[in-house]
Amino acid sequence: MAAMICIASSGQEITRKKAEILVPRPAMQPVKSLDPLNPDVMAMDTLDTSSPARKIILYSDNTWRYWIDGDVASADTTYTKHWNTNPDAYGLSYDNFPLRSYVWLADSTDRYHFPGSITPTKVSSRYGKRRGRYHRGTDMPMPKGSEVYATFDGKVRVAKYSSGYGNLVVIRHTNGLETFYGHLSQINVKQDQWVEAGQVIGLCGATGRASGSHLHYEVRYLGYAIDPEWMLDMDSQELRQSVLVIRKSMLYPESSYSPESDDEEEAIAEADEADRLEQERLEAERKAARYVTIRSGDTLSTIAKREGTTVSALCKLNNITTKTILRVGRTLRVK
Ligand SMILES: [Zn+2]
Protein backbone atom coordinates (compact mmCIF):
# COMPACT_ATOMS: atom_id res chain seq x y z
CA MET A 1 0.00 0.00 0.00
CA ALA A 2 1.45 3.40 -0.97
CA ALA A 3 1.90 6.11 1.60
CA MET A 4 -1.41 7.82 2.06
CA ILE A 5 -3.26 10.31 4.14
CA CYS A 6 -6.32 9.12 6.02
CA ILE A 7 -9.20 11.15 7.36
CA ALA A 8 -9.90 10.33 11.00
CA SER A 9 -13.45 10.33 12.27
CA SER A 10 -12.74 13.72 13.85
CA GLY A 11 -12.24 15.08 10.30
CA GLN A 12 -8.53 15.70 10.96
CA GLU A 13 -5.96 14.50 8.44
CA ILE A 14 -3.65 11.89 9.90
CA THR A 15 -0.64 10.11 8.48
CA ARG A 16 -0.66 6.48 7.42
CA LYS A 17 1.51 5.63 10.41
CA LYS A 18 -1.13 6.95 12.74
CA ALA A 19 -3.88 5.21 10.75
CA GLU A 20 -2.11 1.92 11.34
CA ILE A 21 -2.43 2.48 15.02
CA LEU A 22 -6.18 2.91 14.60
CA VAL A 23 -6.43 -0.25 12.48
CA PRO A 24 -4.48 -2.95 14.35
CA ARG A 25 -1.64 -4.36 12.31
CA PRO A 26 -2.55 -8.03 12.69
CA ALA A 27 -5.83 -7.24 11.00
CA MET A 28 -4.00 -6.26 7.82
CA GLN A 29 -2.51 -9.66 7.04
CA PRO A 30 -3.67 -11.35 3.79
CA VAL A 31 -5.44 -14.65 4.45
CA LYS A 32 -5.49 -16.15 0.96
CA SER A 33 -4.46 -19.58 2.22
CA LEU A 34 -7.49 -19.60 4.51
CA ASP A 35 -9.93 -18.91 1.74
CA PRO A 36 -10.64 -22.09 -0.23
CA LEU A 37 -13.67 -20.62 -1.99
CA ASN A 38 -11.89 -18.00 -4.09
CA PRO A 39 -8.68 -19.61 -5.34
CA ASP A 40 -8.38 -17.27 -8.34
CA VAL A 41 -8.94 -13.94 -6.63
CA MET A 42 -6.21 -12.69 -4.36
CA ALA A 43 -7.04 -11.59 -0.85
CA MET A 44 -5.43 -8.18 -0.19
CA ASP A 45 -6.25 -7.45 3.43
CA THR A 46 -8.31 -8.50 6.39
CA LEU A 47 -10.16 -6.07 8.62
CA ASP A 48 -11.54 -6.58 12.08
CA THR A 49 -15.19 -6.22 12.95
CA SER A 50 -16.86 -5.76 16.30
CA SER A 51 -17.00 -9.57 16.64
CA PRO A 52 -13.58 -11.13 17.36
CA ALA A 53 -14.43 -14.19 15.22
CA ARG A 54 -15.56 -12.22 12.18
CA LYS A 55 -13.13 -10.55 9.82
CA ILE A 56 -13.62 -8.81 6.52
CA ILE A 57 -11.50 -10.00 3.61
CA LEU A 58 -10.73 -7.47 0.86
CA TYR A 59 -10.01 -8.97 -2.57
CA SER A 60 -7.91 -7.83 -5.50
CA ASP A 61 -11.01 -7.55 -7.67
CA ASN A 62 -12.50 -4.90 -5.35
CA THR A 63 -14.92 -7.33 -3.71
CA TRP A 64 -15.06 -8.22 -0.06
CA ARG A 65 -16.73 -10.70 2.23
CA TYR A 66 -17.01 -11.66 5.85
CA TRP A 67 -14.85 -14.51 7.04
CA ILE A 68 -15.23 -16.41 10.29
CA ASP A 69 -12.06 -17.34 12.13
CA GLY A 70 -12.83 -20.94 13.11
CA ASP A 71 -10.31 -20.99 15.96
CA VAL A 72 -11.94 -18.01 17.63
CA ALA A 73 -15.51 -19.09 16.84
CA SER A 74 -14.82 -22.58 18.21
CA ALA A 75 -14.27 -21.16 21.68
CA ASP A 76 -17.98 -20.32 21.91
CA THR A 77 -20.09 -22.59 24.16
CA THR A 78 -21.96 -23.71 21.00
CA TYR A 79 -18.87 -25.80 20.27
CA THR A 80 -17.77 -26.70 23.77
CA LYS A 81 -21.00 -27.91 25.38
CA HIS A 82 -22.62 -31.21 24.32
CA TRP A 83 -19.66 -31.88 22.07
CA ASN A 84 -19.23 -35.62 21.48
CA THR A 85 -19.50 -38.04 18.56
CA ASN A 86 -22.98 -39.47 19.20
CA PRO A 87 -25.45 -38.62 16.45
CA ASP A 88 -27.58 -36.97 19.17
CA ALA A 89 -25.06 -35.13 21.33
CA TYR A 90 -27.62 -33.39 23.55
CA GLY A 91 -29.70 -36.17 25.14
CA LEU A 92 -32.44 -33.59 25.74
CA SER A 93 -35.81 -35.04 26.77
CA TYR A 94 -38.82 -34.09 24.68
CA ASP A 95 -40.40 -32.47 27.76
CA ASN A 96 -37.50 -30.07 27.98
CA PHE A 97 -37.44 -29.10 24.31
CA PRO A 98 -38.23 -25.36 24.08
CA LEU A 99 -41.72 -24.51 22.89
CA ARG A 100 -40.41 -22.03 20.37
CA SER A 101 -36.92 -21.15 19.13
CA TYR A 102 -35.66 -18.67 16.56
CA VAL A 103 -32.64 -19.60 14.49
CA TRP A 104 -30.84 -17.16 12.22
CA LEU A 105 -30.18 -18.92 8.93
CA ALA A 106 -28.41 -16.26 6.91
CA ASP A 107 -27.62 -12.60 7.16
CA SER A 108 -24.83 -10.66 5.50
CA THR A 109 -22.21 -12.57 7.49
CA ASP A 110 -23.64 -16.08 7.67
CA ARG A 111 -23.33 -17.65 4.29
CA TYR A 112 -25.27 -20.60 2.93
CA HIS A 113 -24.82 -23.30 0.29
CA PHE A 114 -27.26 -25.96 -0.84
CA PRO A 115 -26.01 -29.42 0.31
CA GLY A 116 -26.54 -31.28 -2.96
CA SER A 117 -24.95 -30.77 -6.35
CA ILE A 118 -27.73 -31.88 -8.68
CA THR A 119 -30.10 -29.32 -10.21
CA PRO A 120 -33.03 -29.63 -10.14
CA THR A 121 -33.02 -31.49 -6.83
CA LYS A 122 -35.11 -34.59 -6.67
CA VAL A 123 -36.38 -35.90 -3.37
CA SER A 124 -36.87 -39.65 -3.20
CA SER A 125 -37.97 -39.78 0.42
CA ARG A 126 -39.29 -36.91 2.49
CA TYR A 127 -39.06 -36.25 6.22
CA GLY A 128 -41.93 -37.61 8.28
CA LYS A 129 -43.79 -40.47 9.83
CA ARG A 130 -45.37 -43.23 7.78
CA ARG A 131 -46.45 -46.75 8.59
CA GLY A 132 -45.28 -46.23 12.15
CA ARG A 133 -41.74 -45.37 11.03
CA TYR A 134 -39.94 -42.08 11.16
CA HIS A 135 -37.76 -40.64 8.45
CA ARG A 136 -35.68 -37.93 10.08
CA GLY A 137 -34.19 -36.49 6.93
CA THR A 138 -34.68 -35.80 3.25
CA ASP A 139 -33.21 -38.23 0.72
CA MET A 140 -31.76 -36.69 -2.42
CA PRO A 141 -30.68 -39.18 -5.09
CA MET A 142 -27.37 -38.18 -6.64
CA PRO A 143 -24.81 -40.22 -8.60
CA LYS A 144 -22.08 -41.84 -6.55
CA GLY A 145 -19.18 -39.41 -6.28
CA SER A 146 -21.28 -36.21 -6.54
CA GLU A 147 -20.04 -33.42 -4.30
CA VAL A 148 -21.78 -32.75 -1.01
CA TYR A 149 -21.45 -29.25 0.50
CA ALA A 150 -21.52 -27.79 4.00
CA THR A 151 -24.77 -25.84 4.36
CA PHE A 152 -23.35 -23.10 6.62
CA ASP A 153 -20.01 -22.34 8.25
CA GLY A 154 -19.43 -24.57 11.26
CA LYS A 155 -17.39 -27.22 13.00
CA VAL A 156 -17.36 -30.92 12.15
CA ARG A 157 -18.65 -32.84 15.16
CA VAL A 158 -18.84 -36.31 13.57
CA ALA A 159 -16.86 -37.67 10.62
CA LYS A 160 -16.99 -41.45 10.83
CA TYR A 161 -18.79 -44.61 9.81
CA SER A 162 -22.03 -45.04 11.75
CA SER A 163 -24.01 -48.24 11.11
CA GLY A 164 -27.37 -46.81 9.98
CA TYR A 165 -25.98 -43.70 8.31
CA GLY A 166 -22.92 -45.26 6.68
CA ASN A 167 -20.17 -42.67 6.31
CA LEU A 168 -21.60 -39.76 8.25
CA VAL A 169 -20.59 -36.12 8.60
CA VAL A 170 -22.33 -33.97 11.21
CA ILE A 171 -21.60 -30.25 11.25
CA ARG A 172 -22.64 -27.94 14.06
CA HIS A 173 -23.25 -24.38 12.91
CA THR A 174 -22.89 -21.09 14.72
CA ASN A 175 -26.67 -20.64 14.58
CA GLY A 176 -27.09 -23.80 16.71
CA LEU A 177 -28.39 -26.00 13.92
CA GLU A 178 -26.71 -29.27 13.04
CA THR A 179 -26.72 -30.76 9.56
CA PHE A 180 -26.22 -34.49 8.91
CA TYR A 181 -24.87 -35.93 5.66
CA GLY A 182 -25.33 -39.72 5.49
CA HIS A 183 -24.37 -42.62 3.19
CA LEU A 184 -21.30 -40.78 1.84
CA SER A 185 -18.91 -42.77 -0.35
CA GLN A 186 -16.05 -40.60 0.87
CA ILE A 187 -15.51 -38.26 3.83
CA ASN A 188 -13.35 -35.22 3.02
CA VAL A 189 -13.23 -33.62 6.49
CA LYS A 190 -11.98 -34.52 9.95
CA GLN A 191 -13.63 -34.33 13.33
CA ASP A 192 -13.21 -30.87 14.97
CA GLN A 193 -12.32 -29.26 11.63
CA TRP A 194 -13.79 -25.83 10.89
CA VAL A 195 -15.59 -25.77 7.52
CA GLU A 196 -17.12 -23.02 5.44
CA ALA A 197 -20.48 -22.96 3.71
CA GLY A 198 -20.01 -24.47 0.28
CA GLN A 199 -16.92 -26.47 1.20
CA VAL A 200 -16.99 -30.03 -0.19
CA ILE A 201 -17.27 -32.20 2.92
CA GLY A 202 -17.66 -35.54 1.15
CA LEU A 203 -18.95 -37.43 -1.87
CA CYS A 204 -22.37 -38.98 -2.30
CA GLY A 205 -22.70 -42.75 -2.00
CA ALA A 206 -24.72 -45.64 -0.61
CA THR A 207 -22.80 -46.72 2.50
CA GLY A 208 -24.75 -47.97 5.51
CA ARG A 209 -28.39 -48.91 5.08
CA ALA A 210 -29.08 -47.33 1.71
CA SER A 211 -30.81 -48.88 -1.29
CA GLY A 212 -29.14 -46.60 -3.86
CA SER A 213 -26.72 -43.69 -4.06
CA HIS A 214 -28.34 -40.75 -2.30
CA LEU A 215 -27.64 -38.05 0.26
CA HIS A 216 -29.54 -38.54 3.50
CA TYR A 217 -29.73 -34.96 4.77
CA GLU A 218 -30.91 -34.07 8.25
CA VAL A 219 -31.35 -30.74 9.99
CA ARG A 220 -31.37 -30.96 13.77
CA TYR A 221 -31.80 -28.53 16.62
CA LEU A 222 -30.83 -29.58 20.16
CA GLY A 223 -30.68 -33.13 18.85
CA TYR A 224 -34.17 -33.18 17.34
CA ALA A 225 -34.60 -33.60 13.60
CA ILE A 226 -36.83 -31.12 11.82
CA ASP A 227 -38.04 -31.26 8.23
CA PRO A 228 -35.19 -29.91 6.07
CA GLU A 229 -37.83 -28.62 3.66
CA TRP A 230 -38.93 -26.06 6.25
CA MET A 231 -35.55 -24.53 5.72
CA LEU A 232 -34.66 -25.35 2.11
CA ASP A 233 -36.68 -24.96 -1.04
CA MET A 234 -35.69 -28.06 -2.98
CA ASP A 235 -36.73 -26.59 -6.35
CA SER A 236 -34.92 -23.27 -6.17
CA GLN A 237 -32.24 -24.64 -3.79
CA GLU A 238 -32.62 -21.45 -1.78
CA LEU A 239 -33.32 -20.80 1.88
CA ARG A 240 -37.01 -20.31 2.47
CA GLN A 241 -36.48 -17.66 5.13
CA SER A 242 -33.70 -15.89 6.97
CA VAL A 243 -35.05 -16.78 10.40
CA LEU A 244 -36.28 -20.29 11.09
CA VAL A 245 -38.93 -20.61 13.76
CA ILE A 246 -38.84 -24.04 15.38
CA ARG A 247 -41.93 -24.95 17.33
CA LYS A 248 -42.05 -28.01 19.53
CA SER A 249 -45.30 -28.98 17.81
CA MET A 250 -43.33 -29.47 14.57
CA LEU A 251 -41.38 -32.37 16.08
CA TYR A 252 -42.05 -35.92 17.10
CA PRO A 253 -40.88 -37.13 20.51
CA GLU A 254 -39.02 -39.74 18.44
CA SER A 255 -37.21 -37.10 16.39
CA SER A 256 -34.04 -37.36 18.47
CA TYR A 257 -33.48 -41.03 17.66
CA SER A 258 -31.05 -41.91 14.93
CA PRO A 259 -31.12 -44.75 12.42
CA GLU A 260 -28.12 -46.17 14.21
CA SER A 261 -30.43 -47.60 16.84
CA ASP A 262 -32.80 -49.41 14.46
CA ASP A 263 -33.54 -50.37 10.89
CA GLU A 264 -35.74 -47.39 10.23
CA GLU A 265 -33.79 -45.80 7.41
CA GLU A 266 -33.98 -49.02 5.40
CA ALA A 267 -37.61 -49.66 6.36
CA ILE A 268 -38.55 -46.14 5.32
CA ALA A 269 -36.79 -46.63 1.99
CA GLU A 270 -38.73 -49.87 1.48
CA ALA A 271 -42.02 -48.19 2.45
CA ASP A 272 -41.30 -45.35 0.03
CA GLU A 273 -40.48 -47.84 -2.73
CA ALA A 274 -43.70 -49.75 -2.04
CA ASP A 275 -45.64 -46.47 -2.11
CA ARG A 276 -44.00 -45.53 -5.40
CA LEU A 277 -44.81 -48.91 -6.99
CA GLU A 278 -48.41 -48.67 -5.76
CA GLN A 279 -48.68 -45.18 -7.23
CA GLU A 280 -47.30 -46.48 -10.54
CA ARG A 281 -49.72 -49.39 -10.54
CA LEU A 282 -52.70 -47.11 -9.84
CA GLU A 283 -51.54 -44.70 -12.51
CA ALA A 284 -51.14 -47.50 -15.07
CA GLU A 285 -54.55 -48.82 -14.11
CA ARG A 286 -56.05 -45.35 -14.46
CA LYS A 287 -54.48 -44.92 -17.90
CA ALA A 288 -55.69 -48.35 -19.03
CA ALA A 289 -59.23 -47.81 -17.73
CA ARG A 290 -62.00 -48.13 -20.32
CA TYR A 291 -65.71 -47.41 -19.98
CA VAL A 292 -68.82 -48.33 -21.99
CA THR A 293 -72.30 -46.87 -21.92
CA ILE A 294 -75.03 -49.32 -20.93
CA ARG A 295 -77.44 -49.89 -23.79
CA SER A 296 -80.98 -51.13 -23.72
CA GLY A 297 -81.08 -54.91 -23.27
CA ASP A 298 -77.55 -55.11 -21.83
CA THR A 299 -76.82 -57.53 -19.03
CA LEU A 300 -73.57 -58.00 -17.21
CA SER A 301 -72.97 -61.22 -19.12
CA THR A 302 -73.62 -59.70 -22.57
CA ILE A 303 -71.31 -56.79 -21.76
CA ALA A 304 -68.67 -59.16 -20.36
CA LYS A 305 -68.84 -61.28 -23.51
CA ARG A 306 -68.70 -58.26 -25.83
CA GLU A 307 -65.74 -56.72 -23.98
CA GLY A 308 -63.82 -59.94 -23.52
CA THR A 309 -64.02 -59.92 -19.73
CA THR A 310 -65.95 -61.73 -17.01
CA VAL A 311 -69.00 -60.85 -14.94
CA SER A 312 -67.05 -61.09 -11.69
CA ALA A 313 -64.34 -58.78 -13.06
CA LEU A 314 -67.02 -56.23 -14.01
CA CYS A 315 -68.58 -56.47 -10.54
CA LYS A 316 -65.24 -55.94 -8.89
CA LEU A 317 -64.23 -52.99 -11.08
CA ASN A 318 -67.53 -51.19 -10.56
CA ASN A 319 -68.08 -52.26 -6.98
CA ILE A 320 -71.46 -53.83 -7.84
CA THR A 321 -73.07 -57.31 -7.55
CA THR A 322 -74.81 -59.49 -10.11
CA LYS A 323 -78.10 -58.29 -8.61
CA THR A 324 -77.38 -54.60 -9.29
CA ILE A 325 -79.84 -53.14 -11.79
CA LEU A 326 -78.11 -51.76 -14.90
CA ARG A 327 -79.54 -48.41 -15.97
CA VAL A 328 -79.45 -47.48 -19.64
CA GLY A 329 -77.16 -44.52 -20.36
CA ARG A 330 -74.97 -45.06 -17.30
CA THR A 331 -71.31 -45.88 -17.82
CA LEU A 332 -69.70 -49.08 -16.73
CA ARG A 333 -66.00 -49.59 -16.35
CA VAL A 334 -64.90 -52.63 -18.33
CA LYS A 335 -61.11 -52.43 -17.95
ZN1 LIG B 1 -32.88 -41.00 4.47
Walk along the chain (335 residues) and give the pLDDT tens digit of each residue.
333 344 444 444 545 544 444 444 444 444 443 455 555 667 778 888 888 888 888 887 788 888 888 888 888 899 999 999 988 899 898 999 999 999 988 765 667 899 998 888 889 889 988 777 788 899 999 999 999 999 999 999 999 998 789 999 999 998 899 999 999 999 999 999 999 988 999 999 999 877 789 999 999 999 999 999 999 989 888 888 888 899 888 888 777 766 544 456 667 777 777 878 888 888 888 888 889 999 988 999 999 999 899 999 999 988 898 888 888 888 889 88
Per-residue confidence (pLDDT) for residue 181, from 0 to 100: 97
CA of 239 to the centre of ligand 1 (A): 20
Please provide residue 232's backbone torsions phi and psi, each rounded to the nearest 5 degrees: -110, 140
**In DSSP terms, which residues pair with 139 in a beta bridge?**
125, 216
> What's the whole-model pTM score?
0.69
CA of 241 to the centre of ligand 1 (A): 24
CA of 23 to the centre of ligand 1 (A): 49
Give span(s): CATH 3.10.350.10, the chain.
Answer: 289-333
CA of 209 to the centre of ligand 1 (A): 9
CA of 163 to the centre of ligand 1 (A): 13
CA of 290 to the centre of ligand 1 (A): 39
CA of 124 to the centre of ligand 1 (A): 9
User: For the structural domain made of 79-269, what CATH number should be given?
Assistant: 2.70.70.10
Longest dimension (CA), the chain: 108
CA of 74 to the centre of ligand 1 (A): 29
CA of 44 to the centre of ligand 1 (A): 43
**4-7: which pairs have CB atoms within 8 A and are 24 or more residues apart?**
none
Question: Class assignment of domain 289-333?
Answer: alpha beta
CA of 125 to the centre of ligand 1 (A): 7
CA of 311 to the centre of ligand 1 (A): 46
Residue 69 DSSP SS3 = coil
Task: Assign residue 198 a region (left: φ > 0; alpha: ψ between -120 and 50; beta: otherwise).
Answer: left
Per-residue confidence (pLDDT) for residue 156, from 0 to 100: 97
CA of 99 to the centre of ligand 1 (A): 26
CA of 210 to the centre of ligand 1 (A): 8
DSSP state of 327: P
CA of 165 to the centre of ligand 1 (A): 8
Per-residue confidence (pLDDT) for residue 285, from 0 to 100: 82
CA of 238 to the centre of ligand 1 (A): 21
Whether omega before 228 lies within 30 degrees of 0, making that bond cis, reads no
CA dist., res. 211 & res. 167, Å (int)? 14
Residues 186 and 210 sit within 8 Å (Cβ to Cβ) = no
CA of 100 to the centre of ligand 1 (A): 26
